[in-house]
Structures are given as C-alpha cells and as structure tokens.
Structure 1
Amino acid sequence: MRDDSPYQRQPKPSSSTPWGWILIVAGIVASVAAAYWFWPQRPEQALPQPPSAPEVRSEALAPQASAEPGIRYPVPAPATEPAKPLPTLDNSDPMMRESVTALVGKKAFDEMVYPSALIRRIVATVDNLPRQTAPRRVMPIEPVPGTFAVLDATGEATIGAANSARYAPYVRVFESVDARSLVKRYVDSYPLFQRAYAELGFPNAHFNDRLVAAIDDMLAAPELSGPVKLVRPKVQYQFADPELESRSAGQKIMLRMGAENAVRVKAKLREIRRELAMPGR
C-alpha cells in the first residue's frame, strides 16, 4: 500500500448532519473493537512482581480454506432496498462517521476514531490481522489510554495483570453489541468493503472470506494460564516463547489483553462469525 493518502491522518471534523440511517459494520466490531482497542501502543511500564511459568492450552485451529478458487462465505443481497443509495468509496466517510458515532457516541468518536478513509482502514486492518504484522499507520482507532504494564523482577519481565483493567471498559462495549443487527448492516454496505479490498490489491478475492478467516485466526489464539514472559531485545517487548512470538498480529493482540478479557472477546467473535457465515442469512 502507498504511504500517501488515503491513510494520511487529517484533523478530525465535527459530526455532520445525521443521515437518518445507521451502517455499523462487522469489520468495525471484529477488527477495530477486538483489535486496536486492545493493541498496546504506549511506552511500556515496569512493575516489580515475581513471575511464574505460564500454562498453555490452545483451541483447535479452524479448517484451512480450500486451495480451489471460489467464495466460501457469500454475502447475499440486502433483503430490502436501502433508504438511499450507497455513496462511492471515496465519499463514504460522512456515512461512516455517522455510523460509528451512532454506535459509540460523539465524545468517544472524537477521542478514539480517525475519521478519514474509514472503510479502507477497516479493510486493511482485517487483511493484516492474520499476518505477522498489522501496520499502525492504517489503524482506524486511537491507542488505548495508559501504558502497557510489564512486571519486572529478578531480571525476568512478564505482562502485567494491570493491563486487564485498562481493557475492561472496551470489552464491555464490545460485549454489548448485537451481532445480528451489525452483520445485517454490514451486508447492506458490503459493496463498499469489497471495492476497498479490490483496491488493496485483491480484485479476485472475496472480502467476507477474509473477515471470517481473520476472526477464525483470533479464535485460534492459545489461552495462557499464569504470567507470560517477555524479552526486550531492542525497544519493544516481545514474547520470550518463540512459538508465541511467531503467531499472527491478531493472535498476539488476544494474548496481550489478558486471559479473562480474551475469553469474553472470543465469545462475541463467535457470535459475529456465526452471523457472517450463515448461509442465505
């Protein structure tokens, strides 16, 4: 992807006149709420406490997509005609600003969301989550307040338990979302997401398949019991266990948010996935 527009972060405008309809999409819920609200982007903070070895258990990995071309999870046409035609992708930001504002409120939108190129940012984020890295320059959400807490004792660092409290308010918001309603509105606006995915470099791929794959990947993140050891070879902390460090960006987000939060987020992701993958919907 290019480093110029559409991902340049512009000053945030005030909310425009309501359109009278809400388009809240599963891409926002799955990739934004469950990812960048939980992504540690502030300088790390060390706290003195002794670590202990983590006990690891993992969910079974979702089946791999078929190597044959085709659509695994088709998106049906909307059941009813929209109240007004969809805007073009380039002109979709006002619609998306109103949609997200309706979900989280104006104050939260102004503080948390980058208002430019929202659909493109969401699509790029969804595509990146199953990969090794998820570039921050395309994220649609501001960093989580506070610092990524690290416990440091006897020369060993672990993820601090204080992180869970930072993420808890966002987990509650995520849990409150009605998955069926969100996916319905996502379906209504799906042509814009598919267009953005083609623009990203996948003209023959189906964005909804990628969204389901990204959710499956996060659901396959291992569930850790006990402190998780870290190392700091350079500026950023990494997982001391090479197997954990080699996992996808989406799975490492799940690991960093804390075990209790991860269980709750996974439960909501399963609800969303069921709606996304429902034949005929």
Structure 2
Amino acid sequence: MSDQSPQPDTEKRPPNNNLLFAVGVLIIIACVAGYILLSPEEKPQPIVEQTIDEPVMPEYQAPEPQEVAEPETLPEPEVVQRPEQRQVEPEPEVAPLPTLNESDTVVVASIDDYLSDQAMSLLITDDVIRRGVVFIDNLAKGKVAAKHAPVERPEESFSVIEGDILTVDPNSYERYTPYVKIFTSMSAAQIVRLYDEYKPLINDAYAEIGYQGDAFNQTLEEAIELLLDTPEPKGDMPLLRDSVTYQYAYSEWERLPAAQKQLLRMGPENMKKVKAVLRNVKAELEKQ
C-alpha cells in the first residue's frame, strides 16, 4: 500500500470570459451615464491632437496698374542773362577846397588842364577868383573893369583906316583872336564844371564886395544876357575922331554899354564865336 493518500481530483474551470465581458459593459454604461448627467458647460471637450503647421505666406499679388494723369506741361523757364559784374572803381577822393587867399595855385592848375600853354600865358594868375568875380559883376552892369581883367591886355594897338569915312581896320580884330581861342577852347560843360567846383570860393569873393548867399548866379546870368544882346554889324563900322580917341559914328552904337562896345571891337567873326559859347553856357546853367 502506498503511504500517500490519493489527492482529490480538482475540477479545472475554463476562464470566465463572460464575466469579464459583463464587467466591461458595466464600466461603459457608467461612463455614458456620467457624461449625460454633466451640464453642457461641464461636458469635457474631446481632446483633439493638434499639429502645428508652418505658417503659410499668402501668395503676392501685384497691384493692378492705375491710370496716372499726365502732368501738365509747363513752359520752360526763361533764361535770364545776368550782366557781368563789373568791378566798380571807387571814386577818387575830392580834396577839400583851400581858402580864398590860398586858392590861386589850385585854380590855375585846374584851368591849365583845359588850356594850352599859349592861352595860359595870357591869363593873370594873381587873385584869380576875386578878379573874375569883380570883372563879371561889372559886366552885368554894362561896365568893363580893366584893372580887374582876368587876362592881359592886347599888345597891338587899335588901328583904323582913314579915307572918306573913318572905319575900323579889320586887322585890328585879330588882336582879340587869341583871347577868343581861350574862351572857345573849353566846352560849355567844362566851364560850368569849373564854376561849380569853385562855387563856394566864388560866393566868398562875392560876399567880400557886399553880396549875400548865392547871388552870383543871378549876376552871371545877367552878364551873359547883356553880352548876347550886343548888336551885330553887317558891314564896316564908321568912326568919329574925338581928340586922341575914337567914337562910333552911329549914335545907337555909341550909346551901348561899355561891355557891349568891347565885344564890338572884337569884330563880327569873333563876336559870333563868343556868343555861341555864351549860349551854350547859359543852357548848361539852366539845367541845374
């Protein structure tokens, strides 16, 4: 006999698959019931797996061309030619005028710029402005102030032609020709320019003989008018002998002021030249 008692036979049961299936069904029913009982806000959202894609750049589209209004055609600007800049030379400094007593050197030098050496030899260079002022003041009154004449006296003497009628020798007129050349060698503008340059000294000299202000202007114009009014003979000039002097045979000539008779002694041709300059000087003075 054997010492081992026989083992009871154990019944082997197959796996309870039905039971597992039942448990699974219960779990699913519980989950479904819980989902239904939740409020809409509390309902869990399904988890969706998101994938991050690279950003896609929008496709570039060129803008449609727009019509551009043609610009208004403007006239071309006018080109202005600018004049060349010229260098302006500074005006020379004008030296102050000397005193009347010291003016001879300066005045004579100014006149010498216009006259020839021959003409300058006839000019009296002593007290030039005073002489001229007194001489012209007397001319305006019809007188000849021989002692204050601005030029030397002619060296040739007065001559006549003796015949049936005593007349002036035409050669006698020639002694005044150099003096007329002095007067006509300067233009009216030059004469007036000298007058304006030394006008302050002229007024000083005129004040010395009793006139005031700018009175010499009027005196100068009166002297010019008187000489321009001198009659112009058209033929011989008959004379009468009076002791050692001569008189004009025509009474209207003899009654003329001494200043006009002096102009007659220069002769018809010289008189015309002097009058022409006087008219031009008068016109220049009237422009001022």
What TM-score do you get using the length of structure 1 for normalisation? Answer: 0.64
- Alpha carbons 2:239, 2:248 under 8 Å: kept: yes
- Which residue is 1:86 aligned to? 97
Shift of 1:157: 2.0
1:140 aligns with 2:150: yes
Aligned partner of residue 201 in structure 1, secondary structure? coil
Instruction: Name the Cα RMSD after superposition.
Output: 2.2
Instruction: Label 1:97 to 1:252 Cα distance change in 2 as closer, same or farther (>3 A).
Output: same
Partner in structure 2 of residue 238 of structure 1: 247
Q: Name the structure with the higher strand share.
A: 1
Q: Is the partner of 1:232 in helix, strand or coil?
A: strand
Q: Does 1:217 align with 2:226?
A: yes
User: Which of 86, 95, 101 is matched with 2:112 structurally?
Assistant: 101
- Written as runs of structure 1 = structure 2, the 5 A alignment for 1:70-85 is 83-85=94-96
| Cα pair distance change 1:173/1:236, threshold 3 Å | same
What is the alpha-carbon distance in structure 2 between the residues aligned to residue 116 and residue 82 of structure 1?
27
- Structure 2 CA distance for partners of 1:217 and 1:225, relative to 1, 3 Å: same
Instruction: Determine the structure 1 residue equivalent to 2:77.
Output: none
Name 1:185's counterpart in structure 2: 194
For the residues of structure 2 that align with 1:221 and 1:184, how far apart are their CA atoms? 26
- Displacement after TM superposition at 1:115 (Å): 1.5
User: CA 1:101–1:160 in structure 2 vs 1: closer, same or farther (change >3 Å)?
Assistant: same
Counterpart contact for 2:115–2:185, Cα < 8 Å: no
Quote the Cα distance in structure 1 between the aligned partners of 2:149 and 2:178: 20
Q: How many residues align?
A: 198
1:157-168 → structure 2 map (5 Å cutoff)? 157-168=166-177
Distance 2:280 2:185 in 1: 12
- Looking at structure 1, the residues matched to 258 and 209 of structure 2 have their Cα atoms a distance apart, in angstroms, of 19
Amino acid at match of 1:147: S
Contact 1:175 1:268 in 2 (8 A): yes
C-alpha change, 1:142 and 1:260, in structure 2 (3 Å) is: same
How much does 1:242 deviate? 2.6
Specify whether residues 151 and 82 from structure 1 end up closer, same or farther in structure 2 by C-alpha distance, changes over 3 A only.
Answer: farther
CA deviations on 1:161-202 (whole Å, 9 max, x unpaired) are 113333334434433312113212311210111111111222
Partner residue of 1:196 out of 194, 200, 205 = 205
Q: Distance in 1 between matches of 2:96 and 2:278?
A: 30
1:221-272 deviations in Å (ceiling 9; x for gaps): 0011111122232332222223212222221122111112211211111001
| Structure 1 residues 234 and 132: CA distance shift in structure 2, 3 A | farther
What is the CA-CA distance between 1:106 and the residue it aligns to? 4.1
Contact 1:197/1:203 (8 A) holds in 2: yes
Which structure's relative contact order is higher, taking Cα pairs within 8 Å and 6+ residues apart?
Answer: 1
Correspondence for 1:153 among 158, 163, 171: 163
Stretches of structure 1 that go unaligned for 5 or more consecutive residues are: 1-79
Q: In 2 relative to 1, CA 257–113 (structure 1 residues): closer, same or farther, beyond 3 Å?
A: same
Instruction: State how 1:1-281 maps to structure 2 within 5 Å.
Output: 83-109=94-120, 111-154=121-164, 156-203=165-212, 206-278=215-287, 281=288
Q: Give the secondary structure class of the aligned counterpart of 2:113.
A: helix
Distance in structure 1 (CA, Å) of the matches to 2:279 and 2:99: 31
Where in structure 2 are there 5+ consecutive unaligned residues? 1-90
Give 3-state SS (helix, strand or coil) of 1:184's partner: helix
Contact 1:131–1:249 at 8 Å: present in 2 too? Answer: no
Kindly provide the amino acid, as one letter, of the partner of residue 126 in structure 1: I
Q: Letter of the 1:116 partner, please give it.
A: D
C-alpha separation in 2, matches of 1:268 and 1:203: 28
- What percentage of residue pairs aligned between the two structures are identical? 36
Moved segments of 4+, more than 4 Å: none
- Amino acid across the alignment from 1:112: L
**Distance in 2 separating the partners of 1:165 and 1:145:** 11
